[in-house]
Homo-oligomer: A and B are copies of this chain.
């Protein structure tokens, strides 16, 4: 078995996957094996008892949103009575930012990859302030979810029916030339998303006030494209998964307690270790004392060669996450050391249009002791407070070492 050939196959499949946003539908109607009492969450599997504050808050919020219970106490009682099932988004072809909670009646974007025939799913992005993904579940949060799923959702669904699909890979490629890195900074990508959607929305909208509200919401939310981008990265990473003998990472994901990883040639096993507190800039009034451990499936962006790996494309991001523009360039340069390829489609103008570092090789990570650089939002450790900052984090080294040991065992090396 030639590991390098296997890795080249995996990364070629990752890069040739072509995520197309083709529609919007309720989770229960499109996500495989979705059920009314199933809550999907970010990161590797975790039971209620070990869930962090923001993930618990988002679970409570989802049960309230679904109308399965009336209040927080009822939600906790349901969970403790074993009436609620939990599973990672990743086990159901989905990816969710921060807590990453998806429940049955939430609308999800459908991303199809015509090159390899796989799909992925993600919810609508909630924007800023008190939001479910940071574990908030007040009436204000639920009200916004109802508006997003009940009012904006049907309009977006009808708009998307006017097209053959929106090319998320092309959108990302363009956004990287416009100062985005695709994870923490999606300003340009969200505007490109608005540009693609707005004429489609205009064609189908009946209610002018709702139309104006939706265009305003999408335009004001510089993360509006984050969720479809994550599902886009998920179909790319999944296309690289399951290549016999490959040491390429195909999922990095955090549930707020554990950091988990999957590797192409190692089946569906998760390699996990405790998630760390990100380093970064905190909003006024908050410090690292308030921070929850690293959380969210958005590390699927780094897995697919963007996010922290494309920092050099996004010098303006340092005002948000700390550091200097030179640090941003160095972050990308460092990631070339632990990856297999330079991306065919995602290029960085300031590095003479070099492709982004793509396809993390667990062998290189262990050999060099250099772990992936991840851009991330930082959640308050208590449910319902919300975002307290943004910064940088790295996965624990232990998961790469565990994976390499498992690899040696599986392939009798």
Interface residues of A (CB under 8 A from B): 177-180, 187-188, 191-192, 194-196, 198-200, 202-203, 205, 208-209, 211-213, 215-216, 219-220, 315-316, 318-319, 324-325, 349-353
Q: What is the CA–CA distance of A92 and B384 in the complex, to the nearest angstrom?
A: 57
Q: What is the CA–CA distance of A187 and B199 in the complex, to the nearest angstrom?
A: 18
Q: What is the CA–CA distance of A77 and B141 in the complex, to the nearest angstrom?
A: 69
Binding site of A, secondary structure by majority: helix, strand, loop or mixed? helix
A198 and B179 in contact, given A191-B191, A208-B205, A212-B203 (Cβ under 8 angstroms): no
* Pairwise interchain contact B203-A219, C-beta atoms closer than 8 A: no
Chain B residues whose C-beta falls within 8 Å of the C-beta of A187 in the assembled complex = 178
* Pairwise interchain contact B216-A208, C-beta atoms closer than 8 A: no
* Pairwise interchain contact B198-A215, C-beta atoms closer than 8 A: yes
Q: What is the CA–CA distance of A369 and B239 in the complex, to the nearest angstrom?
A: 57
* Pairwise interchain contact A215-B202, C-beta atoms closer than 8 A: yes
A212 and B188 in contact, given A316-B349, A349-B316 (Cβ under 8 angstroms): no
A118 to chain B, nearest CB (A): 30
Q: What is the CA–CA distance of A196 and B195 in the complex, to the nearest angstrom?
A: 12
Chain B residues whose C-beta falls within 8 Å of the C-beta of A349 in the assembled complex = 179, 315-316, 318-319, 325
Chain B residues whose C-beta falls within 8 Å of the C-beta of A205 in the assembled complex = 202, 208
Chain B residues whose C-beta falls within 8 Å of the C-beta of A192 in the assembled complex = 191
Chain B residues whose C-beta falls within 8 Å of the C-beta of A325 in the assembled complex = 349-352
Chain B residues whose C-beta falls within 8 Å of the C-beta of A353 in the assembled complex = 319
A315 and B350 in contact, given A178-B179, A195-B194 (Cβ under 8 angstroms): yes
Q: How many copies of this protein are present in the complex?
A: 2
Q: What is the CA–CA distance of A198 and B224 in the complex, to the nearest angstrom?
A: 16
Chain B residues whose C-beta falls within 8 Å of the C-beta of A316 in the assembled complex = 177-178, 349
Chain B residues whose C-beta falls within 8 Å of the C-beta of A177 in the assembled complex = 179, 316
Q: What is the CA–CA distance of A329 and B295 in the complex, to the nearest angstrom?
A: 38
One of B188, B198, B324 near A194 (C-beta < 8 A): B198
Q: What is the CA–CA distance of A318 and B177 in the complex, to the nearest angstrom?
A: 11
Chain B residues whose C-beta falls within 8 Å of the C-beta of A220 in the assembled complex = 195
A333 to chain B, nearest CB (A): 15
Chain B residue with minimal CB distance to A314?
B349
Q: What is the CA–CA distance of A352 and B319 in the complex, to the nearest angstrom?
A: 10
A-B interface, 4 closest residue pairs, ranked by CB to CB distance from nearest: A315-B349, A195-B219, A191-B191, A202-B212
One of B188, B200, B215, B315 near A188 (C-beta < 8 A): B188
Q: What is the CA–CA distance of A220 and B212 in the complex, to the nearest angstrom?
A: 20
Chain B residue with minimal CB distance to A317?
B349
Q: What is the CA–CA distance of A178 and B199 in the complex, to the nearest angstrom?
A: 23
Complex A-B: 24 CB contacts under 8 Å: A177-B179, A178-B178, A178-B179, A178-B180, A178-B187, A178-B188, A179-B179, A194-B195, A194-B198, A195-B219, A195-B220, A196-B219, A198-B219, A199-B216, A199-B219, A202-B205, A202-B208, A203-B209, A315-B349, A316-B349, A324-B352, A325-B350, A325-B351, A350-B350
Q: What is the CA–CA distance of A198 and B200 in the complex, to the nearest angstrom?
A: 12
Q: What is the CA–CA distance of A324 and B200 in the complex, to the nearest angstrom?
A: 37
Chain B residues whose C-beta falls within 8 Å of the C-beta of A216 in the assembled complex = 199
A188 and B198 in contact, given A203-B208, A212-B203, A353-B319 (Cβ under 8 angstroms): no
Chain B residues whose C-beta falls within 8 Å of the C-beta of A350 in the assembled complex = 315, 325, 350
For the A-B complex with A191-B195, A198-B198, A202-B212 known, give 10 more contacts whose Cβ atoms are closer than 8 Å.
Answer: A178-B179, A179-B349, A194-B195, A199-B212, A199-B215, A202-B215, A203-B208, A205-B208, A315-B349, A318-B349
A358 to chain B, nearest CB (A): 19
Chain B residues whose C-beta falls within 8 Å of the C-beta of A200 in the assembled complex = 212
A354 to chain B, nearest CB (A): 10
Chain B residue with minimal CB distance to A209?
B203
